[in-house]
Structure 1
Amino acid sequence: MMRSGSSSLISSRLRFLGAALLVALLAACSSPATRVVLLPQADGSASAVVVRAKNGEEVLSQPYQRATAKQGASGAPVVDAADAAKVQAENKPLFDMRPPPSQRYTVYFELGTITLTAASQKIMEEALAAAQARPGGDIVVVGHTDTKGTLQNNDALSRRRAQEVAQLFIERRFPANRIEAAGRGERELAVPTADEVDEPRNRRVTIEVR
């Protein structure tokens, strides 16, 4: 959430729907009021926010929708569309503080192993470089398998693959406490197949550098 000064803010509560929702609280120029502007998410995904005033509420669900609740006014906040260019120009320092968008990578493994394919070794280097260039960020790695083998064995293999990738980041001095590693086995196939099918595109780890 990004804030600028606002005098005598009336009581309002924001409920966020979406992990990366960005909201700007802006002061009304003519009279004391709370203004909420919904900013677009960096990845273009949908988001929304509920703006509650003393006697009503409104939902903002479109980028640059604005809700204004004036002090002492009755009823729900008034919703209109803010000028995107004007919001950005008037709040440039706040926009400059926004973190860069997440970067996503996928690396693949040899059948039944935690060994990266030759092509994926280069992708892994790109992911490592991206992580090192983003101070204060974190990483989520999720391991997957194809449908060869039992569910139990594939769960364990997917966790080992995720842990192997996480260890590569740690070896490059990325803090271990900012890495989340998990395994999903064969539950989330990139390419749907029948059981006991050797599908290289399913033997993977997804990496999100954020």
Structure 2
Amino acid sequence: MKIRGVLAGLTAVCAVCLAGCTGKSYVVLLDNPDGTAGKVVVQGNQGEQIIDKAGEGAPLDGSAPPAPVTPQQIAHDFGAAMKARPALPQQFLLYFETGGSEPTPESAIELDKIIAVVNQRPAADVSVIGHTDTLGNAAVNEKLARARASIVADLLKQKGMKAHALTVESHGESNLLIQTPDETAEPRNRRVEVSVR
């Protein structure tokens, strides 16, 4: 069986569970959080089926084409596995004034949201990456971006963030969100990215 999509690992685990529990194994394609759906190719000893619509399923042996599966049946067959899925990563962008190392007032408000997300996870892994725009010297921008990331990490810890792992990095002006020529002020590039996994 070949599986492609965000829920590939979950689909395979659920199919194995069903084989042991009911004697009839099938794969069902679920939609992603953004509403899109991937694609599952089921290759079994009785044929190959392609599932490309969320809410449709096909037997693992490839013996029948995809057919709709009711939400109730999906919940019954896969509910426990779906509840066991880890939370999806979340990303936050905090912005800074030119040359400054303090978040803008609007971005400072985001700190409490970040802490709430981190503290809801049993073993959160948090990365804090600082960035700058292209104004000024690249080496100075590298230091400024690290200072921004360190300040955000310190603020998060001071406010009670309980992360299992915390990494702080600087990308300086090397990883622009908005592509600009050198020596260009771009507020959206003066940022710290906080990723929570």
Normalized against structure 2, the TM-score is what?
A: 0.72
Q: Deviation of residue 203 (structure 1)?
A: 0.5
Are 1:108 and 2:95 matched, yes or no?
A: yes
SS class of match (1:66): strand
SS class of match (1:27): helix
SS class of match (2:172): coil
Counterparts in 2 of 1:107 and 1:20: CA distance versus 1, 3 Å = farther
Structure 1 partner of 2:26: 35
Unaligned runs of 5+ in 1: 1-12, 71-75
Identical residues among aligned pairs (%): 32
| Conservation of the 8 A alpha-carbon contact between 2:55 and 2:71 | no
| Conservation of the 8 A alpha-carbon contact between 2:131 and 2:176 | yes
Counterparts in 2 of 1:56 and 1:142: CA distance versus 1, 3 Å = farther
Q: How does 1:61-100 map to 2 (within 5 A)?
A: 61-70=52-61, 76=62, 78-90=64-76, 91-100=78-87
SS class of match (1:164): helix
Distance in 2, matches of 1:21 and 1:69, equals 15
Q: Deviation of residue 18 (structure 1)?
A: 3.8
Instruction: Give 1 or 2: higher helix fraction.
Output: 2
Count of aligned pairs between the two proteins: 191
- Which protein, 1 or 2, shows the higher relative CO under an 8 Å CA cutoff with sep ≥ 6? 2
Q: 1:202 aligns with which of 176, 181, 189?
A: 189
Instruction: Give 1 or 2: higher strand fraction.
Output: 1
Are 1:44 and 2:31 matched, yes or no?
A: no
Q: 1:138 aligns with which of 125, 128, 132?
A: 125
Distance in 2, matches of 1:19 and 1:188, equals 29
Counterparts in 2 of 1:176 and 1:123: CA distance versus 1, 3 Å = same
Q: How does 1:2-17 map to 2 (within 5 A)?
A: 13-17=1-5
RMSD of the alignment, in Å? 3.4
Distance in 2, matches of 1:61 and 1:45, equals 10
| Conservation of the 8 A alpha-carbon contact between 1:103 and 1:208 | yes
Unaligned runs of 5+ in 2: none
